[in-house]
Amino acid sequence: MLDKLIRKRGGRQEAEAPDPADAGSRGVPGHVAIIMDGNGRWAKKRALPRIAGHHEGMKTVRKITREANRLGVKVLTVYAFSTENWKRPKPEVEFLMKLPDEFLGTYLPELIEQNVRVEMIGDYESLPPHTKRAIRRAMDETASNDGLILNFAMNYGSRAELAGAVKEIARSVKEGTVRPEEINEAMIAEALMTAHLPEPDLLIRTSGEVRLSNFMLWQLAYTELWFTDTLWPDFGEADLREAIDVYRARNRRYGGIGKEEVK
C-alpha cells in the first residue's frame, strides 16, 4: 500500500457539504477524475503500435491539465495504470512505466510554472525504481505549489485500496484504539488513499467504454458520470469544457429532492 506520507500529505481538504436541494446550474467541478481510455485503439486505427497511442495520450494529459487549471478545477485525478494493467504484454507495461519519467522529465518545469502540485494514489512501493524516482521527484519539487493538484492514479485499484483500509481499521481495533461499533463512513474515507482530497464531482471516461474498471468505487458514490466515444489521444479542451457544461446543468440530489421541489 502507498505509504501514509504520500497519501496523507497536505491534510484533508474538506469537500463542501453537499446540499440536497442543490439543483440546477453550479460552478466548475472542484475535483474532476478521468479514466483515460482508448490509447491502443487510437494507435490501431493508424496502424501504429499501441505504445504510440500511450505516447500521444501523454500529450493529452498535458493539454487537459492546462485547461483544467485555467478553468479553475482544483483537483484533476487521471487513471494512468490500474492494478490489472500488469496483465498486458511486458513491453507495453515497460513502456507505461517509463511514461512518468518522460512526462515529468518534459513537463515538470511547465507544471511548476503553472503552480501545479503533483501527487499520486496507488501502490507506489511495487512500481519499478525509475518510475518511483520520477514520481517522487515531481512530488517533492511541486510540494509547495498550491494550485491545481494533478493526481496520478498509478498502479491503482479500488479494491486493493479498500482492502488496505480494512486492514488499517482492523489493526486499530486489535490495538484497542477503535471499537468495532465506532467504525463509520468517515473512518473508512479517512483510511483511503484519497483521505486528503474531496470526492470527485465529475468522472469522465473516454473511448466509449461504460464501466469503472476498478476505479474509485467508494469515492464515486455520488459523482456525476460522463462518457464519450472520443479516444483519449483525441480528447481536447473543448471536450473537457463540454463535460463540465453538462455537469453544471445536472441536478445533484444526493438522495434528497430538487430545489424546485422544496416549498
Report the alpha-carbon distance of residue 13 to residue 69 in Å, rounded.
18
CB-nearest residue to Mg ion = 37
Stretch that binds ligand IPE, among 38-46, 134-142, 183-191, 239-247 (CB under 6 A): 38-46
Please state the closest distance from residue 231 (CB atom) to ligand IPE, in A: 7
For residue 72, give the C-alpha cell. Answer: 479553475
74: left (phi over 0), alpha (psi -120 to 50) or beta: alpha
Instruction: Tell me if 83 contacts ligand IPE by CB under 6 A.
Output: no
Q: Which is nearer to ligand IPE, 45 or 70 (CB)?
A: 45
List the x/- string, 36-75, binding to Mg ion by CB under 5 A: -x--------------------------------------
Interacting residues of 215 by C-beta distance below 8 A, sequence separation 6+ = 33, 35, 79, 82, 153, 156, 158, 203
Q: Which residues are annotated as a binding site?
A: 37-42, 50, 54, 82-84, 86, 88, 205, 211-213, 224
DSSP letters of 173-235? Answer: HHHTSS-GGG--HHHHHHTSTTTTSPPPSEEEE-TT--S-TTS-TTTTTT-EEEE-SS-GGG-
Which of ligand IPE, Mg ion, none does 96 bind, CB closer than 5 to 8 A by kind?
ligand IPE
Q: Round to whole Å and give the CA distance between 61 and 51.
A: 15
Distance CA 69, CA 21 (A): 28
Could you tell me the three cell numbers for 157?
Answer: 485499484
Quick one: angle between helices 237-249 and 50-71, nearest 10? Answer: 50
Residues tagged active-site: 37, 85
Judged by CB, which is closer to ligand IPE: 191, or 200? 200
Q: Looking at residue 85, what DSSP letter applies?
A: G
Tell me which of 158, 207, 219, 223 binds ligand IPE, using CB under 6 A: 207
User: Contact between 39 and ligand IPE (CB under 6 A)?
Assistant: yes
Nearer to ligand IPE, 81 or 124 (CB): 81
For ligand IPE, the nearest residue by Cβ is 40
Q: State in angstroms the smallest separation of the CB of 239 from ligand IPE.
A: 16
Distance separating alpha carbons of residues 88 and 133, to the nearest angstrom:
23
- Asked if 131 interacts with ligand IPE (CB under 6 A), we say no
The reply to whether 82 sits near ligand IPE by the rule CB under 6 A is: yes
Would you say 206 and 60 are in contact if contact means Cβ atoms under 8 Å apart?
A: no
Does position 239 bind ligand IPE by CB under 6 A? no
Residues that bind Mg ion (CB under 5 A): 37
**Residues at the site binding ligand IPE, with contacts judged by CB under 6 A:** 35-41, 79-82, 85, 96, 207, 209, 211, 213
